[in-house]
Amino acid sequence: MQAGFFITCSEVRMNIMRLSLISFLLLMVLTISGCGQPQTPIRLGTNVWPGYEPLYLAQEIGQLDNGKIRLIGYPSASEVIRAFRNRSLEAASLTLDEALLLLDKGLPIKVVLVHDVSHGADAILARPDIRQISDLRGKTVAVESSALGAYVITRALQQSNLGLEAIQIKHLDVSHHEAAYKAGRVDAVVTFEPFNTRLKELGAQEIFTSRELPGEIIDVLVVHEDIFKTRLDDLRHLTRSWFAALEYIDAEPQKAAAIMGRRLKVSDEEVLASYQGIELPTLEQNVAMLDDGLAALRKLAVIMSEHELVSHDLELEQLLNSDALHQD
């Protein structure tokens, strides 16, 4: 009886060990199959521009999950574009003409959100003795090496019946415009808020703004096509946080301006003033612009093609997509 008892205990112990090992292996299999490779946050690049600032506001007020979306700031749009093309970014906030430039280079991309439409916030500022665009003939103009800079100066000159050969272009990142103007190295700059405000404090005056290009300068959220296909839930979280930030701006404009002014390095009043030249489309307007915006997109592509900013006909039909705006 005693021997049988010990045999039974040994068998029990062996069975427990087997069950423990099986349970451990099963747990590991379930963990691996359930989690797969841990997803890293979508890296979203921006340059300094009030139209992108609600992204950072959403982060500050706790609406943006840093585990899903990581915001990365760059000194200029040129650097954002470079990082996006190199796949150092999965998403980027760019102007629509910059998105078309990427498409022209063969990148498979989607436009999933309209950040803003510029109505005066993009501008050409010049020395006080330069009163109008025609006075730029023979002058040196600082232009960022981006599609937007080229687009604005080309369209401005066109409206005064001038070509690019009429001016001397100095390619400078927008973060260097103020120093170049102050040092007298340039006569005018193609720039945008908040740099407009700083240049005006140095005596520069506006001779052209995006009010003269209605509906042509639009800022959008661009993502690589494979990210759109595989991370749609995270992109929906991003757009949801974006519109939560817009609601906060409407409800608490002074608090929002105080938060955004710290990053933009301008006063609260200047933040609010900068939004007078920017339209921030609502969710409903966003859906309409992405679902019905092909005609306007084609018009922009034609203008860019005429001025040799893009090299050939673009496949535009699948570029705009509102799926990330639908929270279902």
Sheet containing 218-224: give its strands across.
Answer: 69-74, 42-47, 91-95, 218-224, 109-118, 278-279
- Domain assignment present for residue 186? The answer is yes
Q: Find the largest Cα–Cα distance for the chain.
A: 113
Residue 168, sorted as left (phi over 0), alpha (psi -120 to 50) or beta, turns out to be beta
Query: 231 and 154 in one domain?
Result: no
**Is there a contact between 148 and 122 (Cβ–Cβ < 8 Å)?**
yes
pLDDT (0 to 100) of residue 19? 46
* Same domain, residue pair 310 and 175: no
pLDDT (0 to 100) of residue 27: 44
pLDDT confidence bin for 24, thresholds 50/70/90: very low
Cα 67 versus chain centre, distance: 19
Domain boundary, last residue among 212, 232, 253: 212
Give 6-47 as a DSSP string.
HHHHHHHHHHHHHHHHHHHHHHHHHHHHHH-SPPPPEEEEEE
> Sheet containing 188-192: which strands, arranged edge to edge?
168-171, 140-143, 188-192, 122-126, 205-209
In this prediction the pTM is: 0.80
Does any domain span residue 22? no
Both 83 and 147 in one domain: the answer is: no
Give the E-state strand segments of 99-217 in sequence order. 109-118, 122-126, 140-143, 168-171, 188-192, 205-209
Is residue 303 in some structural domain?
yes
Which pLDDT tens digit goes with each residue over 210-222? 999 988 899 999 9
| Euclidean distance between CA atoms 152 and 101, whole angstroms | 14
Instruction: Give the residue carrying structure tokens 């609406």.
Output: 63
Is residue 167 very low, low, confident or very high in pLDDT (cuts 50, 70, 90)? very high
pLDDT for residue 4 is more than 90:
no
Both 293 and 311 in one domain: the answer is yes
Residue 107 has pLDDT above 60, yes or no: yes
The CATH number of residue 128's host domain is 3.40.190.10
DSSP state of 205: E
pLDDT band at 259 (very low <50, low <70, confident <90, very high): very high
Domain that holds residue 281: 42-117+217-325
Q: What is the mean pLDDT of the chain?
A: 87
Query: Which one-letter DSSP state was computed for residue 277?
Result: G
Asked if the model's pLDDT at residue 289 lies above 70, the reply is yes
Q: Are residues 228 and 317 in the same domain?
A: yes
For the cut 90, the answer to whether the pLDDT of residue 22 exceeds it is no
Whether the per-residue pLDDT at 15 is higher than 80: the answer is: no
Query: Does the residue 35 lie in any domain?
Result: no
- Amino acid making up residue 2: Q
Does any domain span residue 16? no
